[in-house]
Amino acid sequence: MDTGLNNAYLEALGIQRWVRRSAPPMEADTVDVAPERSEESAVGAPDWEVLQARVAACTCCSLHATRTQTVFGTGDRHAGWMLIGEAPGADEDRQGEPFVGRAGQLLNEMLFAAGFRREQVYIANILKCRPPGNRNPLPDEVVHCQDYLARQVDLVRPALILALGGIAAQNLLQTEVSVGRLRGVRHSYGESGIPVVVTYHPAYLLRSPLEKRKVWEDLQYAQQLYRELTPPHE
């Protein structure tokens, strides 16, 4: 990415230009191979259209009763990066798209700082319906909704997943460890073993702007890992 643009977006994020003097927060584990990428659906598994229709009609948990609409996901269905957040908020519930409003704007700026436009990644949430009052998802809601996300990951087959916030990270990685301790290390998602990098949720950054520098470190780490996973000859 052009250095001038990069600096401009770091400025937009409220981060002073920062020159890294040492390695990212923690060294990446050795990366052997990039995950196999396939555009074919598994036999019997729903394709995008069927999956989206199932989500739109879903009444598997109580959140269907209070939602305005489901929030399926958005972006490039063949993206190298997949971003996964927690659940729709009020703006997302109204507009039917993940990460809109102020948190979405900050996410766009984070992505731009990492060299991506929003439409070049795929963005989804753990839950497809808004929990009332933006409370945290309940375990049974996550259980009922998790197959939809798993199928989305299966269809996108990203080279890398960026988990945004504790709820997303803990559910993807099946752990109760905090975001602060999950950052800076390569994790992997499920049986597919897709690499996962953890960072803070943009909504948290709006409340705690001093943490933006850590997110910038996480994005640099994710970029480094992605470069290793997708060498230029591919």
The contact set with ligand SF4 (CB under 6 A) reads 55, 58-61, 63-64, 70, 127-129, 141, 144-145
Identify the sign of the CA torsion 44, 46, 49, 54. positive
Q: Which is nearer to ligand SF4, 63 or 155 (by Cβ)?
A: 63
Q: Tokens in use for 177?
A: 């460890």
Smallest distance, Å, CB 138 to ligand SF4?
A: 10
Using CA atoms, how far residue 88 sits from 41, 43, 109, in Å, is 27, 30, 19
**CA atoms lying within 13 Å on the CB side of residue 113:** 28
Q: Which is nearer to ligand SF4, 55 or 114 (by Cβ)?
A: 55
Smallest distance, Å, CB 29 to ligand SF4?
A: 32
Amino acid at site 38: S
Other CB atoms within 10 Å distance of the CB of residue 231: 8
C-alpha 82/C-alpha 84 separation (Å) is 7
Smallest distance, Å, CB 145 to ligand SF4?
A: 3
Q: Which is nearer to ligand SF4, 13 or 153 (by Cβ)?
A: 153
Q: Which is nearer to ligand SF4, 55 or 111 (by Cβ)?
A: 55
Q: Which is nearer to ligand SF4, 43 or 57 (by Cβ)?
A: 57
Closest among 86, 63, 89, 88 to 167, alpha carbons compared: 86
Smallest distance, Å, CB 130 to ligand SF4?
A: 8
Smallest distance, Å, CB 87 to ligand SF4?
A: 8
SS3 sequence, 200-214? Answer: CCHHHHHHCHHHHHH
